[in-house]
Chains A and B, each alone.
Chain A
Amino acid sequence: MNFFLVTGMVVFLIGALGILFRKDAISLFMCIEVVLNGVNITLVSFSRLWGNMHGQIMVFFVIAIAAAEAAIGFALMLQIFKHNKNIQLSDITDLRELRD
């Protein structure tokens, strides 16, 4: 059994369960980062296993997309915080009123 792949999978599972159970948006984002970290470990492991670097290229793109996602997410979160005075996910019910 290869422990690198197991590590990647376990980290992915932990993050996925965190996404299911966390209540506020910032913790949710941190869980998403944990999930992406698990995916990155798996991709780099397979890249090493097959001896080519395509998996590492994909990890590079994952990092770039994660940065973009975090920036957009935090901009949205700031607007929601201005409107709702908190960022609990259960309080976000209306997107239409957000720009007022």
Chain B
Amino acid sequence: MIVVKDLTKYYGSFAAIQNLNFEVAAGEIVGFLGPNAAGKTTTLKILAGYMPPTGGFAAVNGYDCVGQSLAARQSLGYLPETVPLYPDLTVGQFLDFAAQAKGLDRSRRRQEVARAIADCSLESVRQTLIGVLSKGFRQRVGLAQALLGRPPLLILDEPTIGLDPAQIVEIRELIRQLAGEHTIILSSHILPEVSQLCQRVIIINRGQIVASDTPANLTQQLGHDARIHVVIHGPSADISKTLAAIPGVKGVHSQGNGAFTLEADLDTEVRPELARRIVQNGWDLLEMKTQEFTLEDVFINLVTEEELPVATPTVQ
């Protein structure tokens, strides 16, 4: 659905993205992850046909984003980061305009607008001027606009930014429902969101892809060790020594108040032995749980491996 080859974009002498290469297959949901000014929005803008790249090639649905821009734009729905809308139009008027701009005829238009309004739960504000809508509604209007005409590809730039937690859940639910009939590429810097929604994550930093895999694989790659959190009532110096002696345990870190974090081999199950020794020594085991590496750890790991630039120009 998306093919990106050696994509490069310069703003003046600043390289927003450099030699990006990735592909997205039809039906995939791909998360585009990175810190601010990493080049996420730039890449999505190029894919949406808003601006051409400085170098390289991008194609959407088999159409070159520059050479066959019109056909490429016909096959995508785009939600820009800032959700630009016309404040002087009502929601219904705006969606009708968007549908007509996408080339739908009158009957198809009525049908598509009705569907988008239903999908994004906008019935109550259909006659309301967009200018007076809350942020959450505006976001949904932006999403509804992208859905019109059922384009095979949806490009969503930070679809949940600026929303309250309840609204975030709603929008995520909506995106998940859409997954069936659209290929979706969405950008975000919220990690749980990406790990919940996406089948694949592309992590981008300073204009370059640093990782591309499923959320599970990414966390597994980083998670060489298992982490176990225990809280034990007893003399802490003895406990440290005893725990470190368990086969398979690589390190023990005391967290104070009887709490310890163990690093252990993934292959060895240390928990039965751990429990046994605590009981044998007459200590009280108050709590034990394994901690998984989150996508957040992966992200921080990948993004902070290199020293972050002192001043990165913000690029919209």
- A-B complex is real: no
